[in-house]
């Protein structure tokens, strides 16, 4: 899934491997993508983040962080946002992580804007044709 990794000091590591067998059926993959497109089209900020001409599949995640005794902290969260597009023939995958954000409980509050900004940038920069 990842061809190479850029390290902080500017060096690269190749991460290529031979093709692996498909682990989910095409039907399951399409159904999952359909659900993740619905997240963006209908649920993410009430559907206001949807791009009418582009299919985008995404999902947010919010988890409480435990303290040193294993109890969940009421004020500490881990936010994630995963998405790919064009949804039915993906060219880009974005994963965002925000550890202990301040002033927001849910990942949709902290990571929707950065995700959509990156998505719109890539669509424009790569001049991607609309897929719907």
- Say which CATH number the domain at 119 has: 3.40.710.10
Share of the chain above pLDDT 90, in %: 81
96 falls within a domain: yes
Domain total in the chain: 1
Residue 15 has pLDDT above 80, yes or no: no
Whether 95 and 81 have beta carbons less than 8 Å apart is answered as yes
Long-range contacts for 48-52 (Cβ within 8 Å, ≥24 apart)?
Answer: 49/112, 49/116, 51/119, 51/120, 51/123, 52/132
Mean of pLDDT values over 37-54: 96
8 falls within a domain: no
Nearest-angstrom CA–CA distance, 132 and 120? 16
**pTM of the shown model:** 0.83
Per-residue confidence band for 1, with pLDDT thresholds at 50, 70 and 90: low
**Average pLDDT of every residue of the chain:** 93
93 falls within a domain: yes
14 falls within a domain: no
132 falls within a domain: no
Q: Residue 93: give the domain boundaries.
A: 24-125
The better pLDDT of the pair 108, 9 is held by: 108
């Amino acid at each position: 899934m990842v061809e190479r990794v850029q390290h902080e000091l500017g060096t690269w590591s190749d991460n290529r491997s031979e093709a692996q067998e498909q682990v989910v059926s095409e039907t399951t993959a399409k159904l999952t993508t359909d659900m993740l497109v619905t997240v963006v089209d209908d649920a993410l900020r009430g559907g206001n983040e949807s791009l009418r001409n582009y299919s985008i599949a995404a999902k947010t995640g919010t988890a409480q962080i435990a303290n040193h005794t294993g109890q969940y902290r009421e004020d500490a969260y881990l936010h994630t946002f995963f998405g790919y597009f064009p949804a039915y023939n993906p060219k880009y995958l974005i994963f965002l992580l925000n550890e202990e954000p301040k002033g927001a409980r849910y990942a949709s509050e902290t990571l929707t804007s950065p995700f959509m900004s990156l998505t719109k940038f890539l669509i424009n920069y790569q001049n991607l044709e609309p897929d719907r």
